[in-house]
Amino acid sequence: MAPLDQPTSSDTGVILTETATVLHGVSREDAEAAVRTLLIWAGDDPNREGLVDTPSRVAKAYSEFFSGYETDPAAMLSRTFEEVHGYNDIVLLRDITFQSHCEHHVVPITGTAHVAYLPADRVVGISKLARVVDAYARRLQTQETMTAQIANCIDQALLPRGVAVIIKAQHQCMTTRGVNKPGVAMVTRTFTGAFDADPAIERRLMDLINT
């Protein structure tokens, strides 16, 4: 782990610095004061030893959890390759783990995404698909929105014959509070083009995911 006063690079390529004092028009002091207010609201004393640095840590954690706002997912897909020697079948990156936060309670959503596309005339470096997942995950999200955003981004950037995104995730707002149902997973999918229109291609995709 990097020393705290050094810039750190998250794997979305965003540089986060301890010294960032204003982010999106809010000063670091105001952000920390808001955390302090929530600690009091929760019933604790923000001045006790264990909590005295917590507002600062939470502010820094937020800049990591929500670093997706600093990214441009479409730009991540801008470098494409056309020389694929006639390869024209499904490209699938499966079991991409991600962490996000629900926009209703700001608690974690953790899960895995399968991202596939059927190339028309170009492909991208495979790691870029995982970066796009992270770019959208590191924002306040609903799973439905995130699923559609990933699919639409790939669809518009690569103009493929189809895109398929399947996300399976656990929502802590449901497993640790509210209805309190541990172990429940939510599954969402967005299919475009051939994945949506051709049941045989959809079946091939599901076979690849389950192999």
189 binds Zn ion (CB under 5 A): no
146 binds Zn ion (CB under 5 A): no
Per DSSP, helices labelled H in 67-125 are 73-76
User: CB 19: neighbour CB atoms within 10 A?
Assistant: 7
105 binds Zn ion (CB under 5 A): yes
- Of the two residues 1 and 42, which places its CB atom closer to Zn ion in the complex? 42
Residues in binding contact with Zn ion, number by CB under 5 A: 4
Cα(203)–Cα(6) distance, integer angstroms: 48
Residue 42, exposed/middle/buried by CB under 10 A (0-12, 13-18, 19+)? exposed
Verify whether residue 18 is a known catalytic residue: no
* Angle, alpha carbons 147-153-155 (nearest 5°): 100
CB of 181 to Zn ion, least distance (A): 13
132 binds Zn ion (CB under 5 A): no
For residues 58 to 97, the per-residue mask of contacts with Zn ion, x marking binding by CB under 5 A and - elsewhere, is: ----------------------------------------
Verify whether residue 141 is a known catalytic residue: no
Find all residues with CB under 8 Å of 50, minimum gap 6, and list them.
none
104 binds Zn ion (CB under 5 A): yes
Touching Zn ion, residues 166-185 (CB under 5 A): 173
- Report the DSSP pairing between strands 91-102 and 140-141: parallel
CB of 171 to Zn ion, least distance (A): 6
Which element (helix H / strand E) includes 142?
none
Residues within the interface to Zn ion (CB under 5 A): 102, 104-105, 173
Give the active site residues.
Answer: 102-105, 143, 171, 173
